[in-house]
Structure 1
Amino acid sequence: MTAYEVTLNKEPCDGIFACLTRDPRFVEDDDGLATIDPDGDPIYDGDGEVREENGTVIASFDDERIEEARQAAAACPVNAITVEEVDQ
């Protein structure tokens, strides 16, 4: 398995939601912008941890779905998403 962090900077997010079609852990937040919710994906059964700091959503995962997160980041037209592998 791969440990990785997904960071979503909400300031440049413009609600295009290209990320939602690449990784179902991305969902629409109450503010009309994207956020990350591991429980928003009906097939995800891991223990994702999500926190928000100063308008940035940071999610930590330890699973085999890093490629989906990378696809979501690549699809974001405003480059608001980054994905980084982290040490366990």
Structure 2
Amino acid sequence: MTTEYAISLDRDACDGVFACLVRDDRFVESEDGLATIDGASDGTHAAGDRQTPVDGDVVVAFDDDRIEDARQAARACPLDAIAVTTEGDDA
């Protein structure tokens, strides 16, 4: 079963701990030494047209069965730089 959700990564809060990388392979190290989502190696874009920059954050929408991977990455981040939301969540 697939779920529509968004992953938001606050790159200003990211400190390059990379706890997210081992929990969800859509998180990768960018050229600036911080995490980014889905292969955005320069930290400015992500896969396809699903990425939206919001106030310095990288926000990527997904519709798949990997929401738990994203949630594990968010829980693992010691800086709380990652948020996972679904349409019904309060922002």
User: TM-score normalised by the shorter chain: which range applies?
Assistant: 0.7 to 0.9
Q: What's the CA shift for 1:31?
A: 1.1
Q: Distance in 2 between matches of 1:74 and 1:30?
A: 24
Q: Which runs of 4+ in 1 moved over 6 A?
A: none
**In the TM superposition, what are the counterparts of 1:65-76 in structure 2 within 5 Å?**
65-76=66-77
Q: What's the CA shift for 1:48?
A: 7.7
Aligned to 1:80: 81
RMSD: 2.1
The alignment covers a number of residue pairs equal to: 81
**2:35 is aligned with 1:34:** yes
Q: What's the CA shift for 1:52?
A: 2.5
Q: Which amino acid aligns with 1:4?
A: Y
Q: Percent identity?
A: 52
Superposed CA offset, 1:27-80 (max 9, x none) = 01111100001699xxxxxx7822323321001000000000000000000000
Mark the CA change 1:75 to 1:48 in structure 2 (over 3 Å): closer, same or farther: farther
Unpaired stretches in structure 1, ≥5 consecutive residues = 41-46
TM-score (norm 2): 0.79
